[in-house]
Amino acid sequence: MMKVSQLLKPNVVNTTTFNDLPPKHKEVVNDFFGQVNYDNVDVVKEVETTIDKVSLKHNVQTNVVYDYIDKELGV
Protein backbone atom coordinates (compact mmCIF):
# COMPACT_ATOMS: atom_id res chain seq x y z
CA MET A 1 0.00 0.00 0.00
CA MET A 2 1.33 3.42 -0.98
CA LYS A 3 1.72 6.24 1.52
CA VAL A 4 0.51 9.76 0.79
CA SER A 5 4.11 10.99 0.92
CA GLN A 6 4.94 8.64 -1.95
CA LEU A 7 2.18 10.15 -4.08
CA LEU A 8 3.23 13.74 -3.48
CA LYS A 9 6.22 15.13 -5.32
CA PRO A 10 8.78 16.77 -3.06
CA ASN A 11 8.98 20.55 -3.33
CA VAL A 12 12.03 21.91 -5.08
CA VAL A 13 12.08 24.97 -2.85
CA ASN A 14 11.62 25.26 0.90
CA THR A 15 11.31 28.95 1.73
CA THR A 16 8.73 31.03 3.55
CA THR A 17 7.70 32.69 0.29
CA PHE A 18 7.22 29.33 -1.40
CA ASN A 19 5.35 27.86 1.57
CA ASP A 20 2.93 30.81 1.52
CA LEU A 21 1.85 29.98 -2.04
CA PRO A 22 -1.43 28.16 -2.68
CA PRO A 23 -1.03 24.50 -3.76
CA LYS A 24 -1.71 25.23 -7.45
CA HIS A 25 1.00 27.91 -7.54
CA LYS A 26 3.44 25.58 -5.77
CA GLU A 27 2.88 23.09 -8.60
CA VAL A 28 3.63 25.79 -11.16
CA VAL A 29 6.83 26.91 -9.41
CA ASN A 30 8.02 23.30 -8.95
CA ASP A 31 7.34 22.64 -12.62
CA PHE A 32 9.22 25.81 -13.59
CA PHE A 33 12.34 24.76 -11.68
CA GLY A 34 12.08 21.27 -13.15
CA GLN A 35 11.82 22.44 -16.76
CA VAL A 36 14.24 25.36 -16.92
CA ASN A 37 17.46 24.53 -18.77
CA TYR A 38 20.24 25.77 -16.52
CA ASP A 39 22.89 25.22 -19.22
CA ASN A 40 21.32 27.59 -21.76
CA VAL A 41 23.60 30.48 -22.74
CA ASP A 42 20.73 33.01 -22.93
CA VAL A 43 19.46 32.68 -19.36
CA VAL A 44 16.90 35.47 -19.56
CA LYS A 45 15.27 34.06 -22.68
CA GLU A 46 15.30 30.54 -21.19
CA VAL A 47 13.59 31.71 -18.00
CA GLU A 48 10.95 33.70 -19.90
CA THR A 49 10.25 30.82 -22.30
CA THR A 50 9.95 28.32 -19.46
CA ILE A 51 7.61 30.62 -17.53
CA ASP A 52 5.41 30.89 -20.61
CA LYS A 53 5.38 27.08 -21.03
CA VAL A 54 4.50 26.20 -17.44
CA SER A 55 1.90 28.96 -17.22
CA LEU A 56 0.18 27.64 -20.31
CA LYS A 57 0.44 24.04 -19.10
CA HIS A 58 -1.11 24.84 -15.71
CA ASN A 59 -3.56 27.40 -17.11
CA VAL A 60 -2.37 30.27 -14.91
CA GLN A 61 -1.13 33.74 -15.73
CA THR A 62 2.60 34.25 -16.12
CA ASN A 63 2.60 36.75 -13.26
CA VAL A 64 2.23 33.81 -10.83
CA VAL A 65 5.86 32.86 -11.44
CA TYR A 66 7.12 36.40 -11.97
CA ASP A 67 5.54 37.55 -8.70
CA TYR A 68 7.00 34.55 -6.88
CA ILE A 69 10.49 35.32 -8.21
CA ASP A 70 10.13 39.01 -7.25
CA LYS A 71 9.11 38.08 -3.69
CA GLU A 72 12.00 35.62 -3.36
CA LEU A 73 14.45 38.29 -4.54
CA GLY A 74 12.91 40.95 -2.29
CA VAL A 75 11.94 43.19 -5.18
**pLDDT less than 70: residues of the chain:** 1-9
**Which pLDDT score is estimated for 70?**
95
pLDDT of residue 12: 79
* DSSP-assigned letters across all residues of 4-29: HHHHSPPPS--SHHHHTS-HHHHHHH
Position 48 scores a pLDDT of: 95
Helix-helix angle 63-73:23-35, to 10 degrees: 80
Q: Is the pTM of this model over 0.85?
A: no
- The per-residue pLDDT for 7 is 61
